[in-house]
Amino acid sequence: MEMEWSETKAEKVWETIDMSYVLSASIFLNAEVGPVWMESELGTTLDYSVSTENVQATEKTETSTVEFTLMDDSLGDYFDLEISYDMMYKSPYFKTVAGASSCPYEPGVQGRMATNQRDEPKIKIGGAGRFDNINPEETLEITIELINDSPTSETRNYFLEVIPGSNPNNLQIDLDNAQNEALRLPYGTENGRSVKVQVTRSPTTWLYQDVKIGMYPVCEYDLFTPINQLGRQPISSTVMLTVSFLRECAEAQFVGEMTKTMQVMFNQDSGDTQQFEAYNPKYRTETWASLIEQGDLQNIRLNYRYYSADASGAYTGTKGPWREADLGGGGKAEWVRHSESGFGDPINVAMPQQEGTYEYAIKSTCGSSPVENVGERFSESVVVVVDRTSPEQFGMYEPSDGVFKFGDEIRVDFTETLQCDAVTRNPLSYYFSVTATKKECAITRTKRPTGGITACQPTGVESELFVDSMFQISCSNTPQPSIQLAFSKAAIIGGEYDKLRGHRVDVTITNVEDVAGNKNYLPGAGLVMSFEVAGALPPHLPQTKF
């Protein structure tokens, strides 16, 4: 079926010509038009404009056609419609003036066979509608069977809905499109339709009882919602759903300063205990004390285990068994209650005496279950590095023969990973300190078959060297923790290196610190590397001559 209409429009075209002149007074008077006077230094002038306008009118006719189809697939339905055209929205509209419909409540028609019921929905659910011990982290999928048992053996349309008021704890039920779109079901049990329904729990509830899912005829459903125009409950079929999820064990989290990095360095200055603080993120709905009283929680205790790690504390592959931590004064490190804002009291925990890297976590125990976070639950871990050993010199320093020749290393190795981060960059400054002293020598010669070598006889004359200009200093943990020195380019070019030849230099390193914060070689008791400077500079190196 189609509808055609036309519309005629009038159009106008304007053409405007503007002309402006500056005329003298005599021309202006002859023109006999109203003046606009302009005063100027050259005399009196007038400014006027003339415009002409031509108007052309045309007519334009537009024709539009709209096709539409009217149908009703219910057996025996017919309708008498009045079709009109909406001038504003340019579309047809329809009004039912008579007819017969399988839906006895449609306005303007008589209900065909109104004394007979046309719809007979039937809904079934597997598992007798009860599902227990569901993993709280998983989605439960259930199957609902929908059957159209129409008394008149007709294909009918139905809606699904979670019946309001039957789900006070807000079980999350996803009916897919079955609640938003009508399901068209052929007649007969063999033509039934299966609908997969996704079910998940809401955040704080574990048991959902007798949640009702209803199946309604579309005809009656539309008149029943949102305002009941039927005057009665619509024809429906309902099933009840009960779901019991496994209850997750109580949650606990670390709080405090350590949570900024989730890592603690426990060194020689840390004492014997470390303070830990815990927090209940669900304190508004579940307090630890009430859960213990109800039997849903046994205890919340601090646990730890040893695991292999590199110098930075990064896990490298081997973890030991979990153990319960002890308080510094004896007894188990645990929390049984918290404040009104969810914070448990701080507890001081005895640290392991054996050095190494440990993983600490808050463990909630509720029972035995293979399901994660149900029988027991662990918080996010804090890594604790127990290292009370100061960095010590490893082996001999270089030059190991006590004589420096140009190109030799000046280096000392250590037993612990060093804190090599620079404190400042300009000039480069580390946590440790370096000083150097020149000790003048009286030069003597010792004859040997291969020739004479320089021997240093201290004269007692000493002078401090300016380290920042004399040396370049580096700290590295690869391949071995070490501190290295090299004579600077400025010292070589400026001749300062040449002035040291034949004399002894003592380099003292103090305040060496490892990554755990342990220090050695305190001021006044530093590590001393002593060597004689021998040998001339290579000839290709520039230097200042005096």
- Tens digit of each residue's pLDDT (9 = 90 or more) over 458-472: 888 889 999 988 999
**What is the Cα gyration radius of the chain?**
48
pLDDT confidence bin for 30, thresholds 50/70/90: very low
**In this predicted structure, which of 71-80, 319-328, 527-536 has the lowest mean pLDDT?**
71-80
In a domain, 539, yes or no: no
- 232 and 309 in a single domain? The answer is no
| Among the listed residues 315, 281, 272, 318, the one whose alpha carbon sits nearest the alpha carbon of residue 300 | 281
**pLDDT score, position 521:** 63
In a domain, 197, yes or no: yes
**pLDDT score, position 237:** 92
- 397 and 380 in a single domain? The answer is no
**pLDDT score, position 449:** 44
**pLDDT score, position 29:** 37
In a domain, 545, yes or no: no
- 212 and 283 in a single domain? The answer is no
Report how far apart, in Å, the C-alpha atoms of 73 and of each of 76, 102, 184, 415, 421 are. Answer: 9, 10, 11, 89, 81
**In this predicted structure, which of 124-138, 168-182, 334-348, 358-372 has the lowest mean pLDDT?**
168-182
In a domain, 138, yes or no: yes
pLDDT confidence bin for 42, thresholds 50/70/90: very low
- 140 and 165 in a single domain? The answer is yes
Quote the CA–CA distance of 119 and 113 in Å, as a whole number.
12
Residue with tokens 């189809």: 69
Quote the CA–CA distance of 396 and 186 in Å, as a whole number.
93
- 320 and 236 in a single domain? The answer is no
Long-range contacts from 321-328, C-beta under 8 angstroms, 24+ separation: 322/361, 322/363, 325/301, 325/349, 325/350, 325/360, 326/350, 328/272, 328/273
Q: Which 3 state secondary structure label does DSSP give 222?
A: helix
- Picking from 367, 386, 405, the residue at the C-terminal end of a domain is 386
pLDDT, averaged across the chain: 81
Number of CB atoms found within 10 A of residue 197's CB:
19
pLDDT above 60: residue 113: no
- The helices-and-strands tally (H runs, E runs) of the chain is 6, 37
pLDDT confidence bin for 37, thresholds 50/70/90: very low
- The domain in which residue 104 lies consists of 70-111
Higher-confidence position of 450 and 52 = 52
- 506 and 410 in a single domain? The answer is yes
In a domain, 57, yes or no: yes
- 291 and 366 in a single domain? The answer is yes
425-450 per-position pLDDT tens digit: 656 677 888 889 999 887 655 554 44
- 367 and 435 in a single domain? The answer is no
| Among the listed residues 61, 74, 31, 65, the one whose alpha carbon sits nearest the alpha carbon of residue 49 | 31
**For residues 197 and 166, is the Cβ–Cβ distance under 8 A?**
no
- 100 and 183 in a single domain? The answer is no
- 58 and 81 in a single domain? The answer is no
Residue 232 bridge partners (DSSP): none
**For residues 134 and 245, is the Cβ–Cβ distance under 8 A?**
yes
In a domain, 543, yes or no: no
Strands (E), 154-310: 156-162, 172-174, 183-185, 193-200, 207-217, 237-245, 253-255, 263-266, 273-279, 299-309
- 134 and 55 in a single domain? The answer is no
What is the tally of structural domains in the chain? Answer: 5
- 55 and 134 in a single domain? The answer is no
**pLDDT score, position 182:** 83
